[in-house]
Structure 1
């Protein structure tokens, strides 16, 4: 049973995070290259703005804001699952190569197969899932030992190795591609949010509507997987079955997110850690907090990045990395001590 004081604390934190997200959305809707004053936001939202105001808000800013929020949520939840099933605090879909696997699959399809614009948007998450799934299976196989099971530290090291190898594959693909297609891949690698239109939201949203409730339903299983293997087996958990199901969930979440935002790392590393520090390690408590932290982190990073340098701004992936890389080093040093 969860202590009522912890539940109350979680609800207060969730409320504060929702206020932060709402405030960042309002700021994001009002700033940018095109003029849209804050006193015109509400009239424009309710259909009483000019043509240019409605175009700026509904065709440029609002879709990007929603995409970054949804992608941050997906990456945070994916990272939380990976940390739970591997019992490794350094697990993140970007760091251990899952995002890179998704990126290679998208690059191969984009460079070498004919593309129909209408279907390409909705195929992206499926293509990314295929590449990420294959990568995660290989990482899992190389990290697993018959006598001692899954090795958490080994998984991170193997994942980093795969990430570097797949980055090499991406460079090889780029070297033989046309200039226009190279520009797209380069933006993807930098984590430049390129899928910033409504069809990309409809392509991403169904994955979240299914996988978020499923993960929350599996929260208690994640608690048990976080224990030592003999204890988890002793209470009746089918370790390999649960790990594979949850690994597929984490891969699907990460792949669906990076298929429209590009190669963004560290959200899945930072959000679960911050959430655990706030409400403790119990998944029923920290998963909802982690989801909102991840959404806000990517939304905030993109809002700052796209307005920091004119005209094109700094990609969200680079902004997140500026925060996440030092945080990763801190966690690595802390783990060694």
Structure 2
């Protein structure tokens, strides 16, 4: 049995590696073409072809994370179909490779791909993405979200704060900062603050520079009195950490699982909706497991009867199935966010659907044999 496993594993690893490399080279080319516009824009600020290639290379881990399940499916389908076409799988079956043992063999290799996908998606890709963002911010402008930046909330005793950060530079400096202070639970405005820039002091506070602050004091006639101050520097104590600011400015699919979990707790503590981030958190949990789903999807191809040269059509079918899984995974995320579904259901549904379909096809083919 060790010889059979060694044969199957070597063939699958070779095929998956080839498919993954082909996809990564294709995406590398597309990303570089997309960077040509940035090259013309940032040429005057020193953004050269070398930096563009470095930025594109830093996008490779994220593409690898997204493509691994599809590559596993295509590579495994190719190997299983080729073994069936050459009658090698029939020989393996007569040598003792029953359906359950075949399924267990593929799932064991699938666990290795699950671990690889998790490590790449949770550690390598986020680190590479932060480096890429810092590289582009150095030449092409700061990290921002749309025209209004990122909004966050913070609560301190009987007061709440709505915080807006316009952009985040590569060195961690924030710009275009606005802070609105309210009294809880009445919601009466207490003060507003604008700062041209700010940074994290490291002791649970922000150091804000070029500050314009307005305090609203309640007069006897219930009319607010405004006291305006202009200060060169202001220290604001807050529980909003640098990681939370980065999380608000970065796309949630580029964050680590633990970072998403911490940011979700922060949003809940401050009464903000965390639906989008909860769905992305559960997608981070379930997405590596899709490698197991892909393995189960590929196994029925070993029980089909092929004519010589007919393997290409089945590999193309595998490509379509992989793309449909990827699209359905994204669609369920959007629908779950719009319809306010339970986050883990929205994230796990595509994997459950495809697992049931593949197990049904596998069971039908085995019974038919």
TM-score, L = length of structure 1: 0.30
Structure with the higher fraction of residues in strand conformation = 2
Q: Which has the higher helix share?
A: 1
